[in-house]
Chains A and B, each alone.
Chain A
Amino acid sequence: MDVNFDLMKSAFPLLIAGAGITVEITALSVFFGMLIGIIVALVRMSDFKILRWLGNVYVDFIRGTPLLIQIFLVYFALPSIIGHRVDAFFAAISACSINSGAYVAEVFRGGIQSIDVGQMEAGRSLGMTWWQTMRYIILPQAFKRIIPPLGNEFIAMLKDSSLVSVIGFEELTRRGQLIIARTYASFEIWMAVAIIYLILTFTVARLTGLLERKFDTK
């Protein structure tokens, strides 16, 4: 078969703009996901039974259902409850953030629980509160250990954010679909899209590695 490189080249600027939006959704979702995740992780380790139960239900529900269905729930099902339609950008960010939060909560929990219990005991025995000990002693040590799994979460979200194309949100995958609808050049465009995803995920993996080494030297 003939590969039309000119077409690939001319499609790149449009696709790069879409990639920018993909990065934006991913960054926002992982950021909000981290906020949700740290709260849920702490709640799930707390003494409040009801909160702990709610945290468990949240994590189990999100991890046990497909992200695609979660996007549908926010975009199609939520409007019928709240009575007006939901903006695609809002739906994309909130579905991805809520999804990411559940995975990040597990990452945080693993990181916190990997810290020796003697650290908490030492902090508490000095008269510090549970929260002060978390804040100054446990979390700073846990953060260092969760950089690699957080990097993985970021990479997973970069790829999974392609699912928001189904609600018409114009990120990288949706841009590809639209160009193909016009040019019928599915091989060239999907290859170009794949290469851009690969560059994005590879870059994040390298950045994670650098960050890891930076924190390793204290």
Chain B
Amino acid sequence: MKERQDIIKITGLQKSFGDLHVLKGIDLYIKEKEVVVIIGPSGSGKSTLLRCINYLEEPSGGEIVFDNIPLNGEANINEVRKEVGMVFQRFNLFPHMTVMENLILAPMKVRKTSRKEAEELAMTYLKKVGLAEKANNYPDQLSGGQQQRVAIARALCMKPKAMLFDEPTSALDPEMINEVLEVMKQLAKEGMTMVVVTHEMGFAKEVGDRVLFVDGGYIVEEGTPEQVFDQPRNPRTQSFLSKIL
């Protein structure tokens, strides 16, 4: 069997907002098809770390290489972004467009796919997230859980090599969390490379190949879900887990 390649390589990543030093040196290699779950207290820098991977935040220092392309600001960022899907906490669907229009816009404008092809692709992914019958609805006619599933389908329509999830269930009512997690589990099973910032520890245990605990701008602890959840070594991890579990 072929050795899996590191698709995301982060070395010495730093990020400051003015005087606020959020990331203080992050090293992280992520393999193809790996599911990495990032946990940590709020303000620990976990979302910032995720947003640096596709340059929604520009790193203050360090290097990020995606699929052998070193990220280099505006010069090549669109080349990388079209290969990296992102799902946001607050969905960020385009409210003036139908679900179908949300899905076909980027494939047509960025990948130059024909409308017919883009619509077929969109239908495939809408079926996958169980929302084919909502193609002609507007986002505000959908529930939060449905909107987030559409957002996942929208990212998938670019046929990304990896997906970033920034607290995808944090803005949802409790009864809608599972429908979104199910879609994500399915994706993981199909071999999508995923980096997920979440507070859903059940999901992390079940789906994660590796769990990172981020606190104070560093990766404090990492390992398999069993290691991190059942035998945390670092006192800060222990204290965090004791509060939320």
- Are A127 and B82 closer than 8 Å at their CB atoms? yes
Report the nearest A residue to B111, measured CB to CB.
A127
Q: Chain A 105-144 against B: per-residue CB contact (8 Å), 1 yes, 0 no?
A: 0000000000010110111111111001000110011001
**Within the complex, which residue of B86, B95, B96 is in contact with A125, where a contact is CB–CB below 8 Å?**
B86
**Within the complex, which residue of A118, A127, A137 is in contact with B81, where a contact is CB–CB below 8 Å?**
A127
Report the nearest B residue to A132, measured CB to CB.
B109
Q: Tell me the smallest distance from the CB of A132 to a CB of chain B, in Å.
A: 5
Contacts known (A124-B56, A126-B155, A127-B106); A218 close to B138, Cβ less than 8 A? yes
**B105 at the A interface (CB under 8 A):** yes
Q: Tell me the smallest distance from the CB of A146 to a CB of chain B, in Å.
A: 14
Report the nearest B residue to A130, measured CB to CB.
B74
- Are A127 and B88 closer than 8 Å at their CB atoms? no
- Are A125 and B94 closer than 8 Å at their CB atoms? no
**B78 at the A interface (CB under 8 A):** yes
**B154 at the A interface (CB under 8 A):** yes
Report the nearest A residue to B80, measured CB to CB.
A127
Interface size on B, residues (CB 8 A): 25
- Are B109 and A128 closer than 8 Å at their CB atoms? yes
Interface size on A, residues (CB 8 A): 19
Q: How far is the CA of A7 from the CA of B95 in the complex (A)?
A: 56
Report the nearest B residue to A125, measured CB to CB.
B86
**Within the complex, which residue of A119, A127, A132 is in contact with B94, where a contact is CB–CB below 8 Å?**
A119
- Are A136 and B105 closer than 8 Å at their CB atoms? yes
Majority SS at the chain A contact face = helix
Q: For residue A144, which residues in chain B have a CB less than 8 angstroms away from its CB?
A: 96
- Are B92 and A122 closer than 8 Å at their CB atoms? yes
- Are B96 and A126 closer than 8 Å at their CB atoms? no
**B54 at the A interface (CB under 8 A):** yes
Report the nearest A residue to B51, measured CB to CB.
A121
- Are A218 and B81 closer than 8 Å at their CB atoms? no
- Are A126 and B56 closer than 8 Å at their CB atoms? no
Q: How far is the CA of A141 from the CA of B154 in the complex (A)?
A: 19
**B158 at the A interface (CB under 8 A):** yes
Contacts known (A127-B81, A128-B106); A121 close to B88, Cβ less than 8 A? yes
Contacts from B to A (Cβ < 8 Å): 54, 56, 78-79, 81-86, 88, 90, 92-96, 105-106, 109-110, 138, 154-155, 158
In the A-B complex, the 7 residue pairs with the smallest Cβ-Cβ separation, listed nearest first, are A127-B82, A122-B92, A126-B106, A125-B86, A118-B92, A127-B110, A127-B81
**Pairs across A and B, CB under 8 Å, 14 listed:** A116-B92, A119-B92, A125-B54, A125-B56, A125-B85, A125-B86, A126-B158, A127-B78, A127-B79, A127-B81, A128-B105, A128-B106, A136-B105, A137-B94
A121-B88, A125-B81, A126-B81 known, 6 other contacts, Cβ within 8 Å:
A118-B88, A121-B56, A124-B81, A126-B82, A128-B109, A140-B96
